[in-house]
């Protein structure tokens, strides 16, 4: 007791406690929420425009009660954010490098679902519940599907792009590419026959495919080549 009184009397402070595993895990989790927040927005959630500042302020208030030296907390926070950023970049790069087949490309949805589950956890967190907010009626499965579709549509791998739709899209591209060889009348006839749909997503896909072909007529250089390609894709359409 006399030693404690002496220390206080000298105006010295006792050493701060070391952080616990639970506290370090908490900082890692907060770092994960901060880094994943932009993906949450892409999935359709609303982000507070001042999320970084408000999250920092709330976390400072939370960690103030830990009895851990502020410099230690600041270091661990910085390390957590850097670590989570590198993990996210590594995971995304690994997924991109491994996406060589249709099946691997379609795994994009599963990756997005993983991010989405982190977003849902953030939306229930004491700090982030007011900073990352799902809209009313939000469904993670639907949101992940729609985002994955938007990323895969150009390659014909969206969930709604059936083999028949893909074949028609390829034929629309040929209608554009081969227009200068087969003539406007035949090109327009292909569009009328194979480029129609009641689904606006499919119509847009067909139109973009045609436009892409039209912008690169050198892909197939001869009328014979166009005829062979058109016949092959027609055979795939029932």
Q: Is the pTM of this model over 0.85?
A: no
Is residue 104's pLDDT more than 80? no
Q: What is the DSSP string of 133-169?
A: EPPTT--HHHHHHHHHHHHHGGGT-STT--HHHHHHH
**Given this model, what pLDDT does residue 219 score?**
87
Domain coordinates of the chain in residue numbers? Answer: 16-153, 163-236
Contacts of residue 68, defined as CB under 8 A and 6 or more positions apart, other chains included, come to 16, 17, 18, 19, 23
State pLDDT tens for residues 6-64: 223 323 333 445 678 999 999 999 999 999 999 999 999 999 999 999 999 999 999 99
State pLDDT tens for residues 58-76: 999 999 999 899 999 999 9
Number of helices followed by number of strands (H, E) in the chain: 12, 2
**Given this model, what pLDDT does residue 102 score?**
65
The CA-based angle 230-236-238, given to 5 degrees, is 115
**Given this model, what pLDDT does residue 126 score?**
96
């Amino acid at each position: 007791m006399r030693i404690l009184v002496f220390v206080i009397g000298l105006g010295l402070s006792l050493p701060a406690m070391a952080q616990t595993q639970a506290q370090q895990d908490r900082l890692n989790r907060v770092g994960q929420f901060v880094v994943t927040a932009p993906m949450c927005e892409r999935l359709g959630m609303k982000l507070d425009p001042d999320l970084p500042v408000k999250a920092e302020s709330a976390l400072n208030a939370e960690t103030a009660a830990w009895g851990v030296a502020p410099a230690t907390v600041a270091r661990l926070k910085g390390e957590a954010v850097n670590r989570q950023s590198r993990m996210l970049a590594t995971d995304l790069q690994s997924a991109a490098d491994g996406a060589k087949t249709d099946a691997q490309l379609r795994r994009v949805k599963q990756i997005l679902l993983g991010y989405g589950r982190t977003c849902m956890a953030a939306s229930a967190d004491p700090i982030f519940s007011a900073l990352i907010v799902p809209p009313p009626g939000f469904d993670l499965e639907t949101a992940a599907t729609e985002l994955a579709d938007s990323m895969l549509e150009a390659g014909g791998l969206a969930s709604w792009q059936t083999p028949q739709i893909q074949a028609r899209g390829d034929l629309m591209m040929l209608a554009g590419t081969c227009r200068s060889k087969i003539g406007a009348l035949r090109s327009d006839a292909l569009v009328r026959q194979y480029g129609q749909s009641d689904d606006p997503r499919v119509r847009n896909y067909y139109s973009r495919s045609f436009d892409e072909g039209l912008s690169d007529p050198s892909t197939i250089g001869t009328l014979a080549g166009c005829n062979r390609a058109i016949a092959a894709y027609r055979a795939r359409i029932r």
